[in-house]
A and B are shown apart, each in its own frame.
Chain A
Amino acid sequence: MKEGNRGLSLYTLLVFVFLLGPLVIISITSFEPGTVLKFPPEGFSLRWYRNIFEVSMFMETFKTSIIVSMLGNLLALLLGVPAAYALSRFEFRGRDTLNALFLSPVLIPGIVLGFTLLRYLIVVYGLPIYAGLLIGHTVIMLPFIIRVIASSLANFDFAVEEAAQSLGAGRLETFFKVVLPNIRSGILAAVLIAFLESFNNVDISVFMTGPGVSTLPIQMLTYVQNYFDPTIAAISVILMVLTAALMFIIERLMGFAYFTKR
């Protein structure tokens, strides 16, 4: 390796230490046997991991998070797949505007979006909190669903669909027999990315939770305000592992190019 590159390597290493260091420290402290978060830990114990499953709030909110993410995902797919198809296949007036509209939840700060949704869905229209939460999550997942599926449609030769039509297939038949089987991995990747986005979300959820309805990240926030034990560190480790596993699958399906070319 050339001389100049050694300095660059060292620099890269430092950046990684800076980025990953806190995660490593959290992971290590999660094994603390005592009742207060410390670094370095005074021993090794899985006590706080066990605690997660014993505190019913965590289990309840975990269930809510999963249900909201999955149901919202389904709704976002029902809206997003036709939208992605139309945006990538048809030339029509107002296409760019529509595109921008669908992507706007990524551009608008979460706090603003969350507050707006609260104001209208819950305060003005009086929807139940649970419904508001579901709609909020559908809205934040939609842009990811549309973008990932549209990019996978863009890689699929339109002529293949025309070939199916010339052989006698109608539009829907063409979509289900020819398009869908070829964008399956794109759809799966979209679902996983959207799931991560929703499952880890704080800024929307924080407005959409109330008595009896809360998501896991919100519950974690509440918990650290009152307790100082390493439970949160333990949950964080589990969430990190879950996220890493999903990212690994997404990378296998789509490559990371999607994340770097936004």
Chain B
Amino acid sequence: MALISLEQVSVAYDNRFILEDFNLQIEKGKLLSLLGPSGCGKTTTLRLIAGFLNAEQGKFMFGGKDYTNVPVNKRNFGFVFQSYALFPHMSVYDNVAFGLRLRKMKEAEVKQRVTRMLEIVSLGGFEKRLPKALSGGQRQRVAIARALVIEPDLLLFDEPLSNLDANLRVNMRVEIRRIQQELGITTVYVSHDQEECFSISDQVAVMNSGKIEQLAHPTTIFKYPASEYVARFIGFGNFIAFESRSDAGEDIELSRGALKFLAAKRPNGAGNLGMLGAIRPDDLQLWPSTQEAPLSGNTLSGRVQVSTYLGRSYQYEVETELGVFTVNQEMDVPFAQGEQVTIYFPKDKLVLVQ
């Protein structure tokens, strides 16, 4: 049974519903992330779970108990804020000890736990520093230690890395994942950065204006987005609206006017609903139209409109009878503007969405 369960929850600000009939289940020990653009309701969902917000309707069940009306300070959940929210007037040690002292723990045990936690986040020796004398990464680690030391039943992160620079972000997310797995603590992680979510999560929920569009393992979402919205959000830049499909054969046969395309079925037969074909710019291949394509079918001829250099590859905007396609391709001698080309759509990379 799921540890956490949001059941038919609705939240409104100023009579405008942000979440409506919202459902979410999380298994014990897993890290689930909420991914979506700014304003889609991720923070609202997290604050609802934390108890900072009250639902207009619905229930929040935790470990089989109804937590809907349990106040924040009785929930024993750890919350890590985007702004770190350390206590400015307290040393690193006192910040981390705060929750334990509220629990009336003996100083000797407080000391032992704080010291151990600071070691886990690699901040041994920083006990006496004030937060303002720490770097962003160090502050965030204090915030994590402070939330973890109370041995919370659930750990909540709201865009914890977005104020850090790129390298540190990568290191910190690995840290967060390591600690989370080491302690086996159930976690909800909010971010608008797909790479961040994909890299550390057991499950990703992609959100769109207060609704979960897809909830799945990161690789599933990455390969098989379920909807156009999810596909766009995770970088499927090219779409073809097909007019008919047939699932009779080994592959799915698609057509648009006189054009025929094939899309591979998924190994387990699931997904691939709808008639909108989606493919990433990285997965398309370009051939000079003078040269014969190595495979027949799944091609479209066009003309290079714009070519830009991305460092690792070139990016082309190719104009075709079905509109403009974006293609990223590594090559030594790039195509020139105006050159006639053939675009090849590998059938195992072409995904159908709703």
B76 partner residues in chain A, CB cutoff 8 A: 168
> A171 to nearest B CB, angstroms?
8
Contacts between the two chains (Cβ within 8 Å), count: 61
Interface contact A160-B87, CB-CB below 8 Å = yes
Give the CA-CA distance A182 to B130 in the complex, in Å.
Answer: 13
B150 partner residues in chain A, CB cutoff 8 A: 167-168
Interface contact A163-B102, CB-CB below 8 Å = no
A128 on interface, CB distance cutoff 8 Å: no
A162 on interface, CB distance cutoff 8 Å: yes
Interface contact B87-A168, CB-CB below 8 Å = no
Known: A159-B81, A173-B102. A166 touches B73 (CB 8 A): yes
Interface contact A170-B85, CB-CB below 8 Å = no
Interface contact B78-A166, CB-CB below 8 Å = yes
A178 on interface, CB distance cutoff 8 Å: yes
Interface contact A167-B83, CB-CB below 8 Å = no
Interface contact A157-B73, CB-CB below 8 Å = no
* Extra 6 A-B pairs, beta carbons < 8 Å, given A162-B72, A166-B78: A159-B81, A159-B82, A160-B86, A163-B85, A165-B73, A167-B99
B146 on interface, CB distance cutoff 8 Å: yes
> B98 to nearest A CB, angstroms?
6
A247 on interface, CB distance cutoff 8 Å: no
Give the CA-CA distance A160 to B80 in the complex, in Å.
Answer: 11
Chain B residue, CB-CB nearest to A160: B85
Give the CA-CA distance A178 to B98 in the complex, in Å.
Answer: 10
A181 on interface, CB distance cutoff 8 Å: yes
Within residues 67 to 103 of chain B, which ones have a CB less than 8 A from any CB in chain A? 72-79, 81-83, 85-89, 98-99, 102-103
Within residues 172 to 211 of chain A, which ones have a CB less than 8 A from any CB in chain B? 173, 177-178, 181-182
Give the CA-CA distance A169 to B72 in the complex, in Å.
Answer: 9
A: residues with CB less than 8 A from B are: 157, 159-160, 162-170, 173, 177-178, 181-182
Known: A159-B81, A173-B102. A166 touches B87 (CB 8 A): no
Interface contact A167-B98, CB-CB below 8 Å = yes
Known: A162-B81, A167-B99, A167-B102. A181 touches B73 (CB 8 A): no
A178 partner residues in chain B, CB cutoff 8 A: 87
Which of A159, A177, A178 counts the most B-chain CB atoms under 10 A from its CB?
A: A159
> A25 to nearest B CB, angstroms?
47
Interface contact B72-A182, CB-CB below 8 Å = no
Chain A residue, CB-CB nearest to B88: A182
B207 on interface, CB distance cutoff 8 Å: no
B52 partner residues in chain A, CB cutoff 8 A: 162, 165
B350 on interface, CB distance cutoff 8 Å: no
Give the CA-CA distance A167 to B79 in the complex, in Å.
Answer: 8
Give the CA-CA distance A81 to B87 in the complex, in Å.
Answer: 20
Give the CA-CA distance A169 to B98 in the complex, in Å.
Answer: 9
Chain B residue, CB-CB nearest to A184: B89
Chain B residue, CB-CB nearest to A161: B85
Interface contact B98-A164, CB-CB below 8 Å = yes
Within residues 122 to 168 of chain B, which ones have a CB less than 8 A from any CB in chain A? 143, 146-147, 150
Interface contact B102-A182, CB-CB below 8 Å = no
A181 partner residues in chain B, CB cutoff 8 A: 89
A182 partner residues in chain B, CB cutoff 8 A: 88-89
A162 partner residues in chain B, CB cutoff 8 A: 52, 72, 79, 81, 85
Interface contact A160-B73, CB-CB below 8 Å = no
Shortest Cβ-Cβ A-B pairs, 8 listed: A167-B99, A159-B85, A163-B85, A166-B79, A168-B102, A165-B72, A181-B89, A159-B81
